[in-house]
Amino acid sequence: MTTSKVRAWPQIVLTGFMGAGKTTIGRALAAQLEAPLFDSDALIEDASGTRIGDLFGQLGEPKFRDLEHRCITAVAGRPGTILALGGGAIVCEATRASLRNCYIVYLEISPATSLRRIGDPSSRPLANTGELTQLLEAREPIYRSVAQLILPEQDEPPEATLSRLLAALPPVYHPA
């Protein structure tokens, strides 16, 4: 007889600034927990048929946030899954409300590391403004206020960050 895995744990949501590693760590975590991954930027690109870098400019931020909210709400709260957010998704109050039953992890990152990791800023429109530090300072209290778990930045490869995250997750996320 085969037994199917019961996926009762609350959805893990990764939030944090651009380049914090939400997508990278989300993929690795999904592989480790053998769980489906949603990435809100990818969902938006699929829904619109347009790259984020172009879409942001075409729509402007308010309309982009509306679309982002709809894409996130469609998958928010699904037990046993992982959701990597876009860096600014959490600034939208309605999006925060959609995530109220999730386990939210804030991946911290400094402005300097963010800039270094982003590399080509054309894919992240807001990285072009030259006001990265102010933007991060403005968002920091929001990231912090929604998070059940805050993972401080360390100079390490993604595999090491994944290990720290796995060790810090509550027992419900640990395989029996």
Ligand X SMILES: Nc1ncnc2c1ncn2[C@@H]1O[C@H](COP(=O)(O)OP(=O)(O)OP(=O)(O)O)[C@@H](O)[C@H]1O
Ligand Y SMILES: O=C(O)C1=C[C@@H](O)[C@@H](O)[C@H](O)C1
Question: Which residues contact Mg ion by CB under 5 A?
Answer: 22-23
Can you say how many angstroms the Cα of residue 43 is from the centroid of all Cα atoms in its chain?
Answer: 12
Which stretch in 12-20, 66-74, 95-103, 139-147 sits in contact with ligand X by CB under 6 A?
12-20
Q: Which of 10, 11, 23, 37: binder of ligand X (CB under 6 A)?
A: 23
Instruction: Kindly tell me which of 7 and 153 has the beta carbon lying closer to Mg ion.
Output: 153
* Residue 124 annotated as binding site: yes
The Cα 64–Cα 84 span in angstroms is: 17
Q: Which of 11, 71, 87, 151: binder of ligand X (CB under 6 A)?
A: 87
Question: Whose CA is closest to 86, among 137, 45, 132?
Answer: 45
Sorted by sequence, the CB contacts under 8 Å of residue 98 that are 6+ apart come out as 69, 72, 73, 76, 77
Partners of 38 in beta bridges: 83
Pairing of strands 82-84, 149-151: unpaired
- Judged by beta carbon distances under 5 to 8 A according to partner kind, the member of Mg ion, ligand Y, ligand X, none in contact with residue 52 is ligand Y
* Residue 20 annotated as binding site: yes
The Cα 134–Cα 121 span in angstroms is: 17
Q: Which of 11, 12, 22, 43: binder of ligand X (CB under 6 A)?
A: 22
* Residue 19 annotated as binding site: yes
Q: How far is the CB of 2 from ligand X (least distance, A)?
A: 35
Instruction: Kindly tell me which of 7 and 24 has the beta carbon lying closer to Mg ion.
Output: 24
Q: Which two tokens stand for residue 71?
A: 């894409």
Amino acid at residue number 163 = S
Q: Is the dihedral of CA 105, 28, 37, 11 positive or negative?
A: negative
Instruction: Kindly tell me which of 9 and 104 has the beta carbon lying closer to ligand Y.
Output: 104
In the annotated binding site for ATP, the residues are 19-24, 124
Residues in contact with ligand X by CB under 6 A are 16, 18-25, 41, 84, 86-87, 117, 124, 156-158, 161
Specify binding-site residues for Mg(2+). 23
